[in-house]
Amino acid sequence: MAKMSPTTVTTGQARLSYVHLLKPYARPGQEPKYTVTILLPKSDVATKQRIDAAIEAAAQEGVNKVWNGVRPPQLKTPIHDGDGLRPNGEPFGPECKGHWVFTASSKQPVEVVDINLNPILNHTEIYSGMYARVNVSFFPFSNSGNRGIGCGLGPVQKLADGEPLSGRVSAEQAFGSSPAPVQPQAPAQPGYAPAAQAGYGQPAQPGYGQPAAYGQPQQPGYAPAPQPYPQQPQAQPQQAPLDPITGQPLSGGIMGL
Average pLDDT of span 209-216 = 44
CATH number, domain containing residue 74? 2.40.50.140
For residue 256, give the amino acid letter.
G
Query: Does 47 map to a domain?
Result: yes
Inter-residue contact 38 to 14 (CB < 8 Å): yes
Residues 6 or more apart from 51 whose CB is under 8 A from it?
Answer: 9, 11, 40, 79, 100, 138
On the 0-12 / 13-18 / 19+ scale of CB atoms within 10 A, 246 is exposed
Query: Does 34 map to a domain?
Result: yes
Strands 112-113, 33-41: parallel, antiparallel or unpaired by DSSP?
Answer: unpaired
Q: What are 137-196's pLDDT values in tens digits?
A: 999 999 888 899 999 999 999 999 999 996 555 555 455 555 555 566 666 566 555 544
Read off the pTM. 0.65
Query: Does 241 map to a domain?
Result: no
Query: Does 1 map to a domain?
Result: no
Inter-residue contact 147 to 74 (CB < 8 Å): no
| 119 DSSP assignment | B
Q: Which domain holds residue 145?
A: 8-166
Query: Does 217 map to a domain?
Result: no
Tally of structural domains, the chain: 1
Q: What are 67-88's pLDDT values in tens digits?
A: 999 999 989 999 999 999 998 8
- At 201 the pLDDT is 47
Residues 6 or more apart from 196 whose CB is under 8 A from it?
Answer: 202, 204, 205, 208
Query: Does 184 map to a domain?
Result: no
Query: Does 213 map to a domain?
Result: no
Query: Does 249 map to a domain?
Result: no
